[in-house]
Amino acid sequence: MMPHDSGGRPARGLLLGALLAVVFWGISFVATKAALREVPPVALIFTRFTIGSALLATILASRGERLLPPLDSLLPLAAMGFVGIFVHQMLQAYGLTMTTAANTGWLIGLIPIWSALLSAIFLGERFPCSRVAGLAVGCAGALLVVTRGELGAHLIALPATRGDLLILASTLTWAIYTVLGHGTLRALGPARASAGAMMLGCAMLAPFYVRSGGWRHYEGLSAQGWIAMLFLGICCSGLGYFFWYAALEKIEASRVASLLYLEPLVTLGAAVTLLGETVRPTVAAGGLLVLAGVALVQRRPAVRRGAG
């Protein structure tokens, strides 16, 4: 039976862990941007998720949970690894070479909207008028972030716009990963399924890592580069996933998911503080529209009471 989280100390601790995961993920775009100055995307992603996979495997082993999944789950886990690790992370990393961490943080806020839309299409979940309105508002905000308020076909040629479009595509791939893994996460448990998908995603990246000689880039890494890389692997891909799914296993998903609203704000603060990025008013306005759209999508419809 799922314990209620009203005032209980264990639940508060789990929510604090989920909040810490959101902070890690919010800072992750800043850390990725910093690491990409010294390491190419393939080497960074492979190293990050190798560290994260090893840490998750260690945590699962310490809890007495089996790491190896049943054979019938390998195909769905491989699909999750391909979409959620290989494609999603590559889009994000290459996008961050062409746009700012602050813009990325705003656009990542669209993920709950795409997740709700895909869940309505493929899982049969309700999509009331408030969610349709939220989708429209969120898309308008994303368009404002990508174009900086200057609409025109010529903008697609600008490097920053191409980067924003890659980040925008990555928000859709993560939503696909969420819907794709719905059944597998329930069957294996979220922590075990995520570890399996992460390992298989790393295996798919391995040939590209070897072909490019990714290990050669470690020699020239500065202290800042190592800190960014280790933070991404240990905190974002290892502890972040563990804290997040530990909370989801015990607390209502809607309460945990609402913490994701904070992620763009964490990214914005970290980008301005650590990278010295500036945020244009039009981009900030677009980001606020994205958050407003997400709030509309996540709002529960009012329950009609009987007249008698």
- Over residues 93-104, the pLDDT tens digits come to 999 999 888 888
In whole angstroms, give the CA distance from residue 138 to residue 126.
18
* pLDDT number for residue 253: 65
pLDDT for the residue 92: 94
The position carrying tokens 């509309």 is: 296
Burial of 293 (0-12, 13-18, 19+ CB in 10 A): buried
Prediction pTM value: 0.80
Give the confidence band of 149 by pLDDT, cuts at 50, 70, 90: low
CA dihedral (233, 239, 242, 244) in degrees, to 10, reads -100
Over the chain, what is the mean pLDDT? 82
Quick: pLDDT tens for 174-190: 888 878 887 887 888 87
pLDDT of residue 121: 80
Given a cut of 60, whether residue 2 has pLDDT beyond it is no
- What is the mean pLDDT of the segment spanning 8-37? 88
| 277 or 299, greater pLDDT | 277
Q: What pLDDT was estimated at residue 4?
A: 47
pLDDT > 70: what percent of the chain?
85
Instruction: Report how far residue 216's alpha carbon sits from residue 39's, in angstroms, rounded to the nearest whole number.
Output: 10
